[in-house]
Chains A and B, each alone.
Chain A
Amino acid sequence: MTTQIVRRQLTNAVSFGTVRTLILMLALLALLGIVYMAQSSQATLTGQRVQELREKLVRLNREIDQLEYEIAAQSAPSKIAERARVRGLHPPTLAQTTFIQVKDYPVASSPPVASSPATNNESFMVILWQQLLTRLGIPLDVPPVQASP
C-alpha cells in the first residue's frame, strides 16, 4: 500500500520537462568541460611555445654577447694599431699635419657645470660684497703686498 503511494508521488514529481532540463544541464556542463579542456590544453601549448621562444631568445642573446665580445677583441686599439703598422701605416707627426681655418665650424660644447651649494652661497656673498663696494666707490682690486726679497 505504502509502496504504491510512493511510486505515484514519484511519477507525478519526475515529469518529462524536469528530465529534459536535467539532460540539458548535463549537456551544458559537458560542453563547458570540453571548452575548458580545449582552452586549457591550448594555454598549455601556448605556454610551452612561449617557454621555447624565451629559451631561444636567451640562447640568441648569449650568442650575440659572444659575437660582440669577439668583435671587440678583434677591434681592440692595440690590434688595430698592430695591423696598421704591418701595412706600413703610422700616425702623422705634428709637422706633417696641416690645420685649416673653417669659419663657424661646429665645436662640441662642454656639458653644463653644476655648482655646489657652498659655491652658490659664496658667489652670492661675493656679488653682494662687490655691489656694496662699488656703490661706496671703493675699488675692487686691492694691490697686493710686495714680498720682501
Chain B
Amino acid sequence: MSAQPLSRAPLRMRAAFILLMAVGIVLAARLFYWQIIRWEDLSRRADKQNTFEVVVPAPRGDILTRDGTLLAKDVFLYTIRVTPKDVTEPDQLATDLAPILKMPRDAILAKLKSDQTNVVLLRDALPEIGEAVLDLRNRRKMLYLSADAKPVRLYPNGSFAHAIVGIVNAERQAAYGIEQSKDGELRGTDGKVGGSSNVLKEPIPFDLPRDLPATPGATVVLTIDAAIQRIVEQELQNAIRDSRAESGSIIVMDPKTGAILALAVWPTADLNRYFDPANQGRYANQTISAQYEPGSVFKIVTTAAALDAGVITPSSCFQDDGSIYIGGRIIKNHNDLAPGRVCLTDVLRMSLNVEMVKIAISLGANRFYQYVKNFGFGALTHIELAGEVTGDVKVVGDGRWREVDLGTNAFGQGIAVTPLQMITAVATVANQGKLMKPYIVKSVQPANARQPIETTPQLVRQVIRPETAKTLTKILSDSIIAESTNKAIVPGYSIAGKTGTAQIPIAGSFDPKWTIASFVGYLPADDPRFVILVKLDKPQSSEWGSQVASPVFAAIAKQIVIQTGLPPDHVRLAIK
C-alpha cells in the first residue's frame, strides 16, 4: 500500500487532520501561555505552597559600662498558644503542660476547653519553658500547640543609669538615651530559615537547608564607671531626701578627655516598666534636654573670659557699692551686699553680681559673647545621647538682645544652658583651656568584627590660654580655702569650684520662692581628674547652692577618691 497525498485523501480524512492540527495548535498555545508567559508567577505560587520561610529575629546588642556591668540585654521570651478545637485529649494535655508551665492544671484545662479559636496559655515564658513545650509538641505531633520566641529588651539593673540607657518598647522601637542614639548599631540584621515543606508548612528534609543566620547587633560599651555611677546615684537620692528638692542631676566628667564617668537624674524610673503611667516623662535626660539659668556658676566663664582677654588680672580690685545701673535696670548683689573694696578672689568667694557686670562691661559685649560661644554655650555638644538641646544664648544683633542682657548674662541670668554644657565649660578651665567634646560611648563592638571601634577623645578648640586656666583655678581654689566652713572642702585634696543659686524664670519675672542650687568643681585643683556638677531644683531645706549642693559635691568626691585610688595631695605630690 503506497502513501496517498493529502490532497487526494477523502474529505473526512482531511477534515480529521485539520481538526487534529487545530487542537494541537490550541494545546501548544496554551502550553506556551502557562509554561512561558505565566511561568514566573506560577512557579512562585508553587514555591509558596511547598516551601516555608521563617524570619529569625536578630538579638539587639548589649549595653555595658566600661567595667562590664550589663545595662541592657535582649532575652528571648516565648508565647505559648493552643488551638482548642483541635485538641483531642484536653485532660491529658493539661496534665502534661501543668508542670512545664508551672500553672494549675485546672487553669490550663479551662483554657483548652475555651470556645475561642486561639488561646494564649502563657506570655513571656522563659526559654527553658518554651523549649520544653516545643519538645512536647514535636514528640506528640501536636500541631495545635505552639511556642513562638521573640526578643524582649530587658534591663537587669532596673533604674540604674536610667537617663543614659533609654528604652526599647514592645514594638522594638528605641526611645531616649543610648538606645535611641545608637539604634543603628544596636539593631542587628534579621535572618531567615527556609526549605521544602508540606501544605501545613512542616519542614520536609528534602534538600540542604536554605538559611541566612541573623546577625546580632553591636555591643556598646559606655565610659560610665559602675562604681562611680552607684556613688552618684546614691548621693543624689540622699540629697533629694535631705534638701526635699523636686528634682536634681549630677554629672562626673574626666576633664582631660571629656569622658562622662557618671550621670544621674532624679526622679528615676525602672527601665523595665516604661509602660507604667507613673514613669511617663522620666526617661528624658534632664542634663542634656532641659535648659536652665545657671546663676553664679557662670561667673567662672565671665572671669575666664576677662582674664584671658587681659581685662583683669588676679590682683584686680574693685569698689563695690552694692548696685550698678545697666540698660535701664539696677542690678544688685544677693542679700543687698555692699562690701566696699574687694579683690578678685573675694568677688568669687562672695559671688558678687555687681562686679561681674563691671567685668563684662570692660570686656565688651562682642568679646564676651565670643567667649561664651567658644566655651560651647548655645550649641549642641553632640554627645551620643538622644534629645540634646542647644540652650539659649542671646547675642548682639539678634533682635532679642538688650544691653541689660550683658549684665545679667555675666552672672548667669537670662542665659539658658544645659548641665552638660556647664560642666563641659568648667572642664575646659580644668583642662588648661582645652575644650574637649564630651562623650559617653567608649567603644562599639560589631558582632562580626574582631576589634572594637574605640572612641578617640576629641579636642574641639583652645578656648583660653593655659596660663589663664591655671590662674583661674588658683583663684577658685583660694576662694574655697578662704572659707573654712565651705561645705565643698574635701580634706587632703585641693579643689576648685563655684556655687550657684539661680532664680527660676517665670512669665516676665522670676519665681519668688524657688531656686536652682548648684555646685560645679574639680579636683585635685593642680592636676584635675574629676569635674563634678551637682544641680538641685527647688530645694526646700535651703535655697542656697552653698548649703545644699556643695555638701553633695564633697560627699561624692570623698568616695570617688577612695574608689579610684586617687591619693591626697601630700602623698601624690610627694610621689611626683
Q: What residues of chain A have their CB less than 8 Å away from a CB belonging to chain B?
A: 43-48, 50-51, 54, 58-59, 62-63, 65-66, 68-70, 72-73, 75-78, 81, 91-95, 97, 99-103, 105, 110-116, 118-119, 122-123, 141-149
Q: Is the CB of A144 within 8 A of B459?
A: no
Select which of B56, B311, B358 is within 8 A of A58 by beta carbon.
B56
**B359 in the interface, Cβ–Cβ < 8 Å?**
yes
How long is the Cα–Cα vector from A145 to B359 in the complex, in angstroms? 12
**Closest A residue, CB atoms, query B574:** A101
How long is the Cα–Cα vector from A3 to B153 in the complex, in angstroms? 88
Tell me the residues in window 53-81 of chain B with beta carbons closer than 8 Å to chain A beta carbons: 56, 59, 69-70, 73-76
Q: In whole Å, how far is A119's beta carbon from the nearest beta carbon of chain B?
A: 6
Cβ–Cβ < 8 Å partners of A123 in chain B: 462
Give me the 7 closest cross-chain CB pairs, A-B, nearest first: A144-B310, A72-B156, A72-B70, A99-B567, A47-B208, A73-B156, A48-B205
Q: In whole Å, how far is A47's beta carbon from the nearest beta carbon of chain B?
A: 4
Cβ–Cβ < 8 Å partners of A122 in chain B: 461-462
Cβ–Cβ < 8 Å partners of A146 in chain B: 312-313, 316
Q: A69-B154, A111-B457, A122-B462 are in contact. List 4 more A-B contacts (CB 8 A).
A: A94-B562, A101-B575, A115-B459, A116-B459
Select which of A45, A119, A148 is within 8 A of B462 by beta carbon.
A119
Q: Is the CB of A68 within 8 A of B70?
A: yes
How long is the Cα–Cα vector from A47 to B195 in the complex, in angstroms? 10
How long is the Cα–Cα vector from A115 to B75 in the complex, in angstroms? 41
Q: Is the CB of A116 within 8 A of B568?
A: no
**B369 in the interface, Cβ–Cβ < 8 Å?**
no
Q: Is the CB of B257 within 8 A of A110?
A: yes
Q: What residues of chain B have their CB less than 8 Å away from a CB belonging to chain A?
A: 56, 59, 69-70, 73-76, 126-128, 131, 149, 154, 156-158, 160, 193, 195, 203, 205-209, 211, 213, 226-227, 229-230, 234, 254, 256-257, 306-307, 309-313, 316-319, 341, 358-359, 362, 436, 454, 456-462, 467, 490-492, 558-559, 561-562, 565, 567-568, 571, 574-575
Cβ–Cβ < 8 Å partners of B467 in chain A: 141
Q: Is the CB of A114 within 8 A of B73?
A: no
Cβ–Cβ < 8 Å partners of B459 in chain A: 113-116, 119
Q: Is the CB of B562 within 8 A of A72?
A: no
Q: In whole Å, how far is B3's beta carbon from the nearest beta carbon of chain A?
A: 15
Select which of B149, B454, B558 is within 8 A of A111 by beta carbon.
B454
Q: In whole Å, how far is B572's beta carbon from the nearest beta carbon of chain A?
A: 8
How long is the Cα–Cα vector from A69 to B206 in the complex, in angstroms? 38
Cβ–Cβ < 8 Å partners of B574 in chain A: 101
Q: Is the CB of B458 within 8 A of A116?
A: yes
Q: Is the CB of B313 within 8 A of A76?
A: no
Cβ–Cβ < 8 Å partners of B558 in chain A: 93-94
**Closest B residue, CB atoms, query A120:** B459
Cβ–Cβ < 8 Å partners of B313 in chain A: 144, 146
Q: Is the CB of B562 within 8 A of A44?
A: no
**A63-B128, A144-B312, A148-B362 given; A91·B205 CB < 8 A:** no
Q: In whole Å, how far is B440's beta carbon from the nearest beta carbon of chain A?
A: 14
Select which of B157, B208, B227 is within 8 A of A72 by beta carbon.
B157
**Closest A residue, CB atoms, query B216:** A61
Q: Is the CB of B157 within 8 A of A77?
A: yes
Cβ–Cβ < 8 Å partners of B254 in chain A: 110
Q: In whole Å, how far is A40's beta carbon from the nearest beta carbon of chain B?
A: 8
Sample 11 A-B pairs with CB under 8 A, ordered by A number.
A50-B208, A54-B211, A59-B131, A65-B127, A68-B70, A76-B157, A95-B491, A101-B574, A102-B575, A143-B310, A146-B316
How long is the Cα–Cα vector from A143 to B313 in the complex, in angstroms? 9
Select which of B160, B209, B229 is within 8 A of A51 by beta carbon.
B209
Q: Is the CB of B312 within 8 A of A147?
A: yes
**A116-B459, A116-B460 given; A69·B256 CB < 8 A:** no
